[in-house]
Structure 1
Amino acid sequence: MLSKQGLCSRSEATKWIAAGRVSVDGRIVRDPEFPIVQGRHRIEIDGNAADAAPRLYLMLNKPRGLVTTAQDERGRDTVYRCLDGARLHDAPLPWLAPVGRLDKASEGLLLFCNDPQWAARITDPDSGPDKTYHVQIDAIPDAAQLAALHAGVSVDGELLRAKSARLLRSGEKNAWLEIVLDEGRNRQIRRLLAAFDLNVLRLIRVAIGTLSLGDLAKGQWRALDEQDLQRLR
């Protein structure tokens, strides 16, 4: 319930409960699975009412070299470095979780929110919005290779494919592709291209649905407005 209210992550809520910080109707509860009926039970954290946090949705232009997690067991810098000390309307940002992820070497549009239900809709492989990427590779692909990326290939028993793949521009030894995905699999683009002996030099997510990265600077973020949210529906 605490995570659904946008107050913290599920793992953090479990820690608070185990530490005896959470009470229900005045009684300390140490069971994370304790049944709660919203509107009927009074939940408190450290004696203060656990009111739902105002919903907040934002976009970040993720720099390369950051991992998409709250805490990294290897001590690597995370995407939260870009939000350290951030304020909105003169108030600190509430707890926010990444919506999906970009791997350490990838860049571009990354969403955050404190609305788990909304995040689940965005990341749903069947009904979520398409994701658009600009990808620099170490070769000049021909029409047959682009068609093959769309047709897909089995990698370790998993069918990987692009909804679409087209050439944006090319130089003497490398090229930029626009690749659109309608599903999200682990390192999908890198694994798909590697299956055709194409190596990724840069990978930038430039849009989710019709919400584009635009001119948002590297490492910068902004809150989404209602028009932005409409673009994601």
Structure 2
Amino acid sequence: MRPSRPAARQSKPSAPRHGLARVLSKMGVCSRSQAEKAIREGRVSVDGKVVLDPERPADPDRQRILFDNEPIAANTRVYIVLNKPRGIVVSAADERGRDTVYDLLKDAGLPWLGPVGRLDKASEGLLLLSNDSVWAARLTEPRHHVDKTYHVQVNDIPDQALLDQLLEGVVEEGERLAARRATLLRHGEKNAWLEIVLDEGRNRHIRRLLAAHGIEVLRLIRVAIGSMPLGELPKGQWRHLMDAEVQALAAASSAGAASK
């Protein structure tokens, strides 16, 4: 009878690795779409070999990754707030040649920054940008319910019944659209300004919600995210966030997730 062999030791599973394009994005080198394009163009190598598959797993802690023959390293985390003007596209590049928020940041000496959430071309106001993808995700994931406050000019003078209906919400194209708070700020003879607070943001959320009630948006300005206001930042200008603001926004995302 042969002696029994000792059971083979099972090696601990290695930490999960992300695709190469995501690695470049998470390290703040460029956006994920820009990384995918660069990889397919043969501009990225891993351990001396050019990689053409953006989804190939990579580990920057164990592998040498070069982008345009330069080793990648995590950039210092940068957080800025921009007062986006109307008519500017929130995109790294626009196929129609329109001005983008990155045109406002050129020659600023900043690393690549991604927008934290979106504002459509016709909307204006507070836009955050950062190369901290984890922080950004916490602010934008619906489950964290971070309040976003907007001042909205409309072509009507809403009464309290309509404001209540905005809180009740509507189902439009299979999505439920509702406001967390809606108040009348001021009005003239033909139009009014509302303050609308969302704790989640769907595509063109406020415009679609109001349109469902026959109301047209004339202007839409985001004036705050969490407890951080846009303040007196001039249109088209930007500034770095203070450490306390970065931490307060992170705390707001944690509180929002815990409260739901």
TM-score > 0.5 by shorter chain:
yes
Separation in structure 2 between the aligned mates of residue 165 and residue 227 of structure 1, nearest angstrom:
28
Deviation at 1:62, TM superposition (A): 0.3
- 1:50 paired residue among 57, 72, 93: 72
Is 1:65 paired with 2:76? no
Q: Which amino acid aligns with 2:160?
A: A
Q: How has the CA–CA distance of structure 1 residues 61 and 51 changed in structure 2, closer, same or farther, with 3 Å as cutoff?
A: same
Unmatched 5+ stretches in structure 1 = 87-91
In structure 2, relative to structure 1, the CA distance for the partners of 1:94 and 1:147 (3 Å cut) is same
Give the Cα–Cα distance (whole angstroms) in 2 for the partners of residues 95 and 52 of structure 1. 11
CA RMSD of aligned residues (A): 1.2
**Corresponding residue for residue 15 of structure 2:** none
Could you tell me the TM-score, scaled by structure 2's length? Answer: 0.84
CA-to-aligned-CA distance 1:111-165 (integer Å, 9 cap, x gap): 1111222211111111041100000111111110100001111222321110010
CA 33–212 in structure 1, closer or farther in 2 if over 3 Å, else same: same
Q: CA deviation at 1:11?
A: 1.7
Q: How does 1:14-33 map to 2 (within 5 A)?
A: 14-33=36-55
Does residue 2 (structure 1) correspond to residue 19 (structure 2)? The answer is no
Partner of 1:203: 220
Amino acid at match of 1:111: L
Query: What is the correspondence of 1:1-233 to structure 2 with a 5 Å cutoff?
Result: 1-86=23-108, 92-233=109-250
Aligned residues: 228
CA distance in 2, matches of 1:115, 1:146: 37
Whole-Å separation in 1 of the counterparts to 2:148 and 2:210: 17
How many Å separate the matches in 2 of 1:38 and 1:71?
A: 27
Q: SS of the counterpart of 1:75? A: coil
Partner Cα separation in structure 1 for residue 191 and residue 111 of structure 2: 42
Fraction of identical pairs, as percent = 63
Aligned-residue offset at 1:18: 2.1
In structure 2, what is the Cα distance between the partners aligned to 1:197 and 1:122? 31
CA contact (8 A) 1:21 1:45 kept: yes
**For 2:97, what is the secondary structure of its paired residue?**
coil
* 1:36 aligned partner, one-letter code: A
**Superposition misfits of 4+ residues, deviation over 4 angstroms:** none
Higher helix share: 2
Long gaps (5+) in structure 2: 1-22, 251-260
